[in-house]
Structure 1
Amino acid sequence: MHFEQHIDAFINHLKANKGLSANTLKAYRSDIESCLALFVRRGVSDLNEITLDDLRSWMASESRNHARSSMARKTVAVRGFFSWGYEHGIMRTNQAATLLTPSIPNTLPSVLTEVQAEQLMDQADADDASVDEADSNNNNETGLEVRMRAETQRNTAILELLYATGIRIAELIALNVHDVDFANRTIKVTGKGNKQRVVPFGAPAMRALEIWLVEGRAKLENLNSADALFLGARGGRLNQRVARDVVHKAAQEAGVPDISPHALRHSAATHMLDGGADLREVQELLGHASLKTTQRYTHVSIEQLKTRYVQAFPRA
């Protein structure tokens, strides 16, 4: 691309000074590249030729195909790039300084009820139990059957750990075997900005992890497995797409509303608060930089309380 060297320099600046995650840096690069590519197609060869009206027209064209939350991120990325370019003498003026970030509706996150979450976990445990029973009755398993059994054990461990800890899907697939401390029932998680935190998990997650590590993981590992806690079918570190599919498929099988891994994280946080956990404790467990982010879950709890009230008191 025409402005590739400037984009590279900006991304390296963010990596060195802002501590952003690899996924965020990748998204920022894509946002800036798509923005500048539009102007290149219009004949722009110098960043100083881009005006505020040009940037507003870019936002208008992008907003037709993207949600407000995506547009907010794109705007932050482009505005940051122009600010950096001005500070480093690449641009004579910062045309993006007054570019407004689209407002994002303060919608509440979707969550499962506690009954639905229990139904989801029970289904995962039932799948695991059926695999163990089939294994005990079959001494002549094929290679495919062995791998399928291992994947079922892995999927159960994934679901139990996601719900028990509320960690992000990117944090889950980044876990290594040595990050699990069975003695204290905790995992060491590396979150956004490479910040580490220790998160506890309960007995169901511990049992699922032990089965996966003792029985399942060895069936999938190979020379490329390294230290990854969760492995894909070919033995490498599990990727996010497969992990997301695990959650969607499990929700379908359990007969609960279709949810994403992030919605399962929302559910875990809400249920922690419903169970009496302190807001600051939940903030620490989830790895939120701001308490304001965690406070969203208190509103979810209140909405659920209202629903239960109406159900209990129809004439209310």
Structure 2
Amino acid sequence: MSELPASKGRQSLTLPGSDLFETVRQKLIDDLGLVQVGRRGKERIYRPRAELLAEVVTPETWVMVMDWLSSTRRGALTTKRTYVDDLRRIWASYAQELGHERLALGIFTPDHIRAWRIRAEAQGVARTTIARYLNTLSSLHAYSAEKIDLPRNPVTQDDRPKVDKGNTSTSTPVLEVDEVQRVAAQAKDPFDLLVVSLLYALAGRVSEMCAADVTDRIERGRRSYLDVTRKEHKERILPLPLTVAEMLDEHTAGRSEGPLLLDAEGRRLDRHDVARLLARLGRHAGVLPGRKLTPHVLRASRITHMLDDGVPLAEVQAFADHDNPATTVGYWKRRNTGQRNAAHVDAAEELFANVTPKFKTTPQGNA
């Protein structure tokens, strides 16, 4: 791995060269994880996300980003990784387009951001995505401005897209119970079924399942549990359905350590593997025409089905590990809005009940 920038001056996380500094820096690098950058035959090639970032930002900016990500306000690993990917893919690329070799704090002006936003809109980038990219840059700038002298924040309210919070067209789709069953029926082997069952039963996030190790299995009496690390580093011990526990027993037979889930080559299963597996099953099951079945669809479906079954909102929130109850309520609102709208259009259809049969084609042979 290439040498990552060392911190210096007022921006240092701790004193450079100290054991504490190296421990802190390595922890942050490890948290950011790896990125698949290619393949060599069947072998996947990975590189540290922190290393990729270091190649496209100045050393001072790299240190400040690490400091920014170490804040407890950005505790979720997935959030940290998304921020870094936004910086290196979007803002570092834009900096190079403007003639800078690397991304540095303070190089963008409000005019730069205005031009970028207008072009993104012209290219059809979703408002929610534009808002996320801008939020990444704005948050980093605001944090850094409290530590070093910087020009004013280039991201102003005038360029933040208005996002319709009631827009359901971009919400994660939900499968009905029979559709989940159809997906499971397309499993070509026990492992396919294990992945679907595990994600759906626990309303799990793919990162949790892929990060789990064999040693995270816990046996208490007749019940089997899985110790998972959820967002914000929250540890949860979740009971496993009997059938899922049995499938895991078969999958991990003879192994006492290492990854819980392995791919066909014996490597730790990653989210890309799961995405491909689910996309295949969803396509064969004929669900979500024109869209891919994703791990989050299964999570959203499980949460919605619990609400359909009358499970109290507070209980669903606890099971799904939603920090904000508004997130759980959002699932309930979307479900109820869809059902109410369906009832309204069905009522309108009744108005034409006596006229519609007049134009229906009579099947041949029944005249």
TM-score normalised by the chain length of structure 1: 0.77
CA distance in 2, matches of 1:112, 1:206: 24
Structure 2 counterpart of 1:112, which letter? L
Deviation of the 1:90 alpha carbon = 3.9
CA distance in 2, matches of 1:47, 1:299: 41
Which protein shows a greater Rg? 2
- For residues 129-184 of structure 1, what are the alpha-carbon distances to aligned partners after superposition, in whole Å with 9 as ceiling and x for unaligned? xxxxxxxxxxxxxxxxxxxxxxx322211110111011111111111122233534
Deviation of the 1:28 alpha carbon = 1.6
Quote the residue 2:20 is aligned against: none
CA distance in 1, matches of 2:60, 2:120: 22
Q: Which runs of 5+ in 2 are unaligned?
A: 1-54, 352-367
Quote the residue 2:208 is aligned against: 171
Structure 1 counterpart of 2:125, which letter? H
Report SS of the residue matched to 1:232.
coil
Aligned: 1:267 with 2:318: no
Quote the residue 2:129 is aligned against: 70
What is the correspondence of 1:2-13 to structure 2 with a 5 Å cutoff? 3-13=57-67
Query: Does the CA contact (< 8 Å) of 1:154 and 1:230 recur in 2?
Result: no
Quote the residue 2:265 is aligned against: 234
Deviation of the 1:232 alpha carbon = 1.7
Deviation of the 1:309 alpha carbon = 6.0
Deviation of the 1:226 alpha carbon = 5.1
Quote the residue 1:39 is aligned against: 95
Report SS of the residue matched to 1:188.
strand
CA distance in 2, matches of 1:305, 1:66: 30
CA distance in 2, matches of 1:153, 1:30: 34
Quote the residue 2:333 is aligned against: 299
Structure 2 counterpart of 1:20, which letter? G
Structure 1 counterpart of 2:58, which letter? E
Q: 1:102 to 1:160 in 2, by over 3 A?
A: same
More helix by share: 1
C-alpha RMSD over aligned residues: 3.1
Query: Does the CA contact (< 8 Å) of 1:11 and 1:25 recur in 2?
Result: no
Corresponding residue to 1:17 among 68, 71, 75: 71
Q: 1:89 to 1:268 in 2, by over 3 A?
A: same
Q: Could you tell me the percent identity over the aligned residues? A: 24
Quote the residue 1:143 is aligned against: none
TM-score normalised by the chain length of structure 2: 0.67
Aligned: 1:117 with 2:180: yes
Q: Which runs of 5+ in 1 are unaligned?
A: 128-151
Quote the residue 2:38 is aligned against: none
What is the correspondence of 1:16-165 to structure 2 with a 5 Å cutoff? 16-18=70-72, 19-33=74-88, 34-43=90-99, 47-48=105-106, 50-63=108-121, 64=123, 66-96=125-155, 98=157, 100-105=159-164, 106-107=167-168, 108-124=171-187, 127=188, 152-165=189-202
Q: 1:300 to 1:179 in 2, by over 3 A?
A: farther
With CA pairs under 8 Å and 6+ residues apart, which has the higher RCO, 1 or 2?
A: 1
Q: 1:275 to 1:42 in 2, by over 3 A?
A: same
Report SS of the residue matched to 1:159.
helix
Quote the residue 2:359 is aligned against: none
CA distance in 1, matches of 2:219, 2:91: 48
